[in-house]
Amino acid sequence: MATPIVLSDAYVVAKRNIIKIKRVPDLLVFTTLSPIMFVLLFAYVFGGAIAVPGGADPSAYREFLMAGIFAQTVIFGATITGAGLAEDIKKGIIDRFRSLPMAPSAVLTGRTLSDVVNNVLVLVVMSLTGLLVGWGIHSSVAEAALGFLLLLVFAYAISWVMAWLGMLVPSVEVFNNATFIVIFPLTFVANTFVPLDTLPAPLQTFAEWNPVSAVTQASRELFGNIPPQVPAPDSWPLQHAELYTLIWAGIFLLVFIPLANLQYRRSASR
């Protein structure tokens, strides 16, 4: 009976966070505005200076770009989990949750699930933006759906890392600064915006094993955004991008779900 109770309580917490998006639409607006700006900047300002496999056609870079923008967007979107929890702790809302007859794990489960909904909305907006600048899906409906699902699974796993970190730091401001310092280089030292062969050798090796590169590569393959004449990657993570992405997602979930729940109990008891 414990599992149905947890799921029921998690649904209530998730609903609370989704209603917050409705009542504070600025959250969704600013979450989508930044990646839209990245799309426009890279597509029209930097795109002409970046050579990618696929030829001189300007749309070639836009096809290359969108999977990287998707990956970066859902990873940054996962930080909403940590920021929300840091704010709830600071305002004493977590203490109010503790006073209610609800499963403790439901707070984190509901929080992370609500941010999946947020990421779905963001991906819809980003897909429409991509279509406007010349991006397209050249695979089957099933493969495209799997590509979006893989992005959401990876983002969900990252959200548990952010949940743990959000309860570890003393304030929302510290959380935002800490995550930006880590996530920003991780999403740029990868194949998100430029081909890996343009990077210096040490950075190229790091980027090949960077899970952000794997989820980006997997998305490109599933969306059909890799020209057929492009040779297969040399490194194992990019040759098996879907599997490597799922391995990292599994590691994040196995490690940080227990850590986040432990930190929740510690934070709530302060």
The predicted pLDDT at position 28 comes to 66
Q: Using CA atoms, how far apart are residues 91 and 74, in angstroms rounded to an integer?
A: 26
Q: Using CA atoms, how far apart are residues 117 and 120, in angstroms rounded to an integer?
A: 5
Among 55-64, 98-107, 228-237, the range of highest mean pLDDT? 228-237
Is the pLDDT reported for residue 111 higher than 60?
Answer: yes
How many C-beta neighbours within 10 Å does residue 154 have? 25
Mapped onto helix, strand or coil, the DSSP state of residue 1 is: coil
Mapped onto helix, strand or coil, the DSSP state of residue 162 is: helix
Confidence of residue 85 (pLDDT cuts 50, 70, 90): confident
Nearest to 75 by CA among 223, 259, 219: 219
Q: Say which residue, 118 or 101, is predicted with more confidence.
A: 118
Mean pLDDT value across the chain: 84
What value does the mean pLDDT take over residues 197-220? 94
Is the pLDDT reported for residue 1 higher than 50?
Answer: no
Q: Using CA atoms, how far apart are residues 233 and 172, in angstroms rounded to an integer?
A: 40
CA distances from 180 to 62, 253, 260 (A): 25, 21, 20
Cut 0.85: pTM above it:
yes
The predicted pLDDT at position 21 comes to 67
Q: Say which residue, 98 or 40, is predicted with more confidence.
A: 40
Q: Using CA atoms, how far apart are residues 10 and 117, in angstroms rounded to an integer?
A: 14
Task: List phi, psi (to 5°) of 115.
Answer: -75, -20
Is the pLDDT reported for residue 220 higher than 70?
Answer: yes
